[in-house]
Structure 1
Amino acid sequence: MSHKAVSLDRYGDTQLRIGFDHSEEPVVFTACSRALSRSSSIFRSMLYGETVGNEPGIISRRENQIIDVHHDTLVPMTTLLCIIHSKFDQVPPALSVDELYDLVVVARKYDMMTALRPWTAKWTKILGTNTQSTQEEITKALWIYWELGQRDAFYLTARRLTVESRAPVNSCPDGLRTPPGIAEHIASLRLQTIQSLIQVFREMIQKLLVVDEQPRWCRHAAWLGPHRCESMILGSLTFCLWRAGLWPLPDAVHVKDSILDLYTKLKTVVIHDIGQATEDPRRNHQDCNPRQYLSEAVEQVMNRIPNGRIECCDDHFQDWANDIAKKNETSSESQ
């Protein structure tokens, strides 16, 4: 099969063939074996063997051998190889979430995450700025932050994924990488939040259905008096919920909307009241309208969604920081 040849090092002694299993034309890169081995424990093992250690004079390979990396796509591998061969002018200054995700996948595979560090702040800066991101793109951004050890951005993105995900939460394409346990955490938190939002209105309806055995919702209610006030509010409320597709009030497990979509519907519910009583102008039933009460209760539910630490993820970020410190120490000693 024909291929394109690219030289990364004029004195290169190793060839990497990329794209063999993909639709693009394969490319053979002439690379420096020492640059590869310094940057990647995986390539070091491939080139020099597991037992060679750090002895620079021991080489257990053939000169100019071709290493096939069949399963890796060309663009992210090219970027990674340019970085470790100091071809910095060929490193893209900006990447889309899809491009950065693919690059991180390859860097993670070859244990080359530290090679990305000089660019990660710039590359990840734009990830959270797109308010129209799809669920798949947000999930990719979440995994990028996870792998790059960006704790604060990870937690903010996890919250965004929680409030913007529609059911089912794990509906992204097969093979999309996600941090362990995070999908279950988000699905559980989404269900709890939706249940709490619906419960606000369920309890309000129960208050409106109270007869004379308990205190009534109407502020001007009299013992055995008319229920026109509650009836007006109840009818208005159920009509608006019906128009929003929420009547009868569903169980949380049957809600397909995202938390954000449900929140928007509930915040826009219009509730009418009978206003000022004609028989007694001092009785203004606008005071009985639960619009403000419901709005504040819904806001309280939303404010309880955590945007900080997630217990199942804390250990990972601490381990990541420790690993980076260890690699920096090893790098300093080798120099």
Structure 2
Amino acid sequence: GETKGRGDSTPGRGGPVQFDPDGELQLEVGAENAIFVVCPRSLARASPVFKAMFYGGFSEARQATGNWRVKLPEDDPEALALLLNIIHGRFDKVPLVLVDSKIYKITVLSNKYDLTEALRPWAKRWTKAFVEHSANSAQVAWIAWELGDRVLLEDMLDDLLLDGSLNEDGDLVSGWDGQPLNSFEMLALMNVVEPLHKKRMEVLTSLLGPINQLLQSLLGVGEPRRRRCVCYSSQLGYSEANVCDAVVLSSLMKGLAKADLFPLPQPEDCPGPLQDFYDRIRGLGNSIKSLDINAGSRGGKRSDHTGCNPSKELLDKINWVWRHDRSVIDEKHKSHLEIQAKKSGFAPAEEDDPL
């Protein structure tokens, strides 16, 4: 028989929600079976997935007798209600501003039912409010993936890379909630968790490289560093240069110990966030010293060791690594983002064809 219900679209508050008063189909949504009365033809026109479900010979198709009901127990009722408002032209019930957690649930369903294009009038406005480091980077990364916003996706993946750390099992975990990224289903669909883990090891290796190279040269077991000592004493010049190296080595080791990085660790022994690691090694610049000598020498000239301090050169190398491209986006990612951007409106507008 006919199902009467409310005209508003707030699920779970009373009886069925009518998105179409003449709707032939009842959707039972979520764990609490919120009932939505909808027009199946409208859903089929908007979504090829719904079209296949309702008119493709599947179990969700209308039976010969009884009411037409379809169960969607895994879907979020509030998120689906918003999509149904869009599909049924009830635009006054679509918020212009949404928090990222709600947009995330909506985009999970827009991906499931191939409804990304339906979000086009609101997509840019919804994501405009996102501020760097202010939200759940994993969820926002998914939103960017679904809407084809490459800039936002790059930012969020970089947040996951810099703020994430390794748990006891060696899994990369979110700096936001401590959950392993490989347990986040939507990130798995994006195929970014393993690239993030690999990129993390690459960055750590590159950051440790210049420090290890300097240590090895000062210990005499690596390539000798270029000496910049200006020693005028013919009798003490050689030993003075060695003393300068010893001062640099000692201060470097003290700086590393102060940063809890001595002995110098291997990349796999650095489980903390990359951002914290970078901040610690950047502080080495204030720790490294060279020989400070005031003794006189030949012709009244003094030895000069101010150019022996390697801190600037070391920090230049470290900062270059840090500024270097950390992107994990590959060509397959780019291709997907281009397709989604055309659906959502994030792609640049194409010029009209000439008449």
Tell me the TM-score normalized by structure 1: 0.81
- Is 1:113 aligned to 2:116, yes or no? yes
The amino acid that maps onto 1:158 is L
Q: Which residue of 2 aligns with 1:231?
A: 246
Q: CA deviation at 1:96?
A: 2.3
Structure 1 residues 260-300: Cα deviation after superposition (integer angstroms, max 9, x where no partner): 22111111122233334334563232321122111111111
User: Does the 8 A contact of 2:195 with 2:328 survive in 1?
Assistant: no
State which of 176, 183, 205 in structure 2 corresponds to 1:174: 183
1:48 equivalent in alignment to 2:51: no
SS in 2 for 1:223: helix
Return the match for 1:310 from 330, 342, 346.
330
Alignment partners' CA distance in 1, 2:241 and 2:148: 63
Cα 1:110–1:235, aligned 2, differ >3 Å: closer, same or farther?
Answer: same
Q: Paired residue for 2:290?
A: 273
Asked if the contact 2:100–2:140 (Cα under 8 Å) also holds between the matched residues in 1, the reply is: yes
Paired residues of 2:230 and 2:303 also in contact (CA < 8 A): yes
Q: How far apart in 2 are the matches of 1:196 and 1:173?
A: 25
Could you tell me whether the CA contact under 8 Å between 1:2 and 1:26 is conserved in 2?
A: no
Higher RCO (CA < 8 A, seq sep 6+): 2
What secondary structure is seen at the aligned counterpart in 2 of 1:15? strand
CA deviations 1:92-150 (Å, max 9, x no partner) are 222222221111111111221211121111112233x14244xxx21222222122122
CA RMSD of aligned residues (A): 3.1
Distance 1:82-1:147 versus aligned 2 partners, 3 A rule? same
Alignment CA distance shift 1:275-1:46 (3 Å): same
Q: Which is further off, 280-289 or 8-17?
A: 280-289
Contact 1:18-1:73 at 8 Å conserved across structures: yes
Aligned-partner residue type, residue 310 of structure 1: D
State how 1:80-91 maps to structure 2 within 5 Å.
80-91=83-94
Q: 2:71 corresponds to which residue?
A: 68
Q: Secondary structure of 1:257's partner?
A: coil
* SS state at 2:165 partner: coil
Q: Deviation at 1:321?
A: 6.1
Contact persistence 2:117–2:343 (CA under 8 A): no
Partners in 2 of 1:16 and 1:268 — Cα distance?
59
Q: Distance in 2 between matches of 1:207 and 1:83?
A: 66
The Cα shift of 1:200 comes to: 1.0
Residue 269 of structure 2 corresponds to 254
Instruction: Please tell me the residue identity of whatever aligns with 1:201.
Output: I
The answer as to whether partners of 1:162 and 1:259 remain within 8 angstroms in 2 is yes
CA pair 324-289 structure 1, distance change in 2 beyond 3 A = closer
> Matched residues in 2 for 1:41 and 1:60: separation?
20
Structure 2 unaligned spans of 5+: 1-11, 174-179, 232-236, 346-355
- Decide whether the 8 Å contact of 2:48 with 2:113 is kept in 1: yes
- Supply the distance in 1 between the matched residues of 2:90 and 2:77 (Cα, whole angstroms): 16
Per-residue CA deviation, residues 287-334 of structure 1 (Å, 9 max, x unaligned), is: 211221111111111122245952342332345468889xxxxxxxxx
- Tell me how far 1:60 sits from its aligned partner: 6.9
Equivalence for 1:93: 96
The SS at the match of 2:172 is coil
Describe the SS at the equivalent of 1:16: strand
C-alpha distance in 2 between matches for 1:173 and 1:97? 21
Tell me the SS of whatever aligns to 2:194.
helix
Deviations 1:188-230 (A, max 9, x none): 111111101011111111222239x956645236334453222
Query: Could you say which residue in structure 2 is the equivalent of 1:189?
Result: 199
1:121/1:184 Cα in 2 relative to 1: closer, same or farther (>3 Å)? same
Aligned residue pairs total 310
Residue 39 (structure 1) aligned with residue 46 (structure 2): yes
1:63 shift after superposition: 7.6
* Residue correspondence of structure 1 range 133-152 to structure 2 within 5 A: 133=135, 137-152=136-151
- Equivalent position amino acid for 2:141 in 1: L
**TM-score of the superposed pair, with normalisation by structure 2:** 0.77
1:85–1:319: structure 2 CA closer, same or farther, 3 Å change rule? closer
Extract unaligned runs of 5+ from structure 1. 52-57, 326-335
Q: Does residue 26 of the first structure (1) align with residue 33 of the second (2)?
A: yes
Q: Aligned residue for 1:8?
A: 19
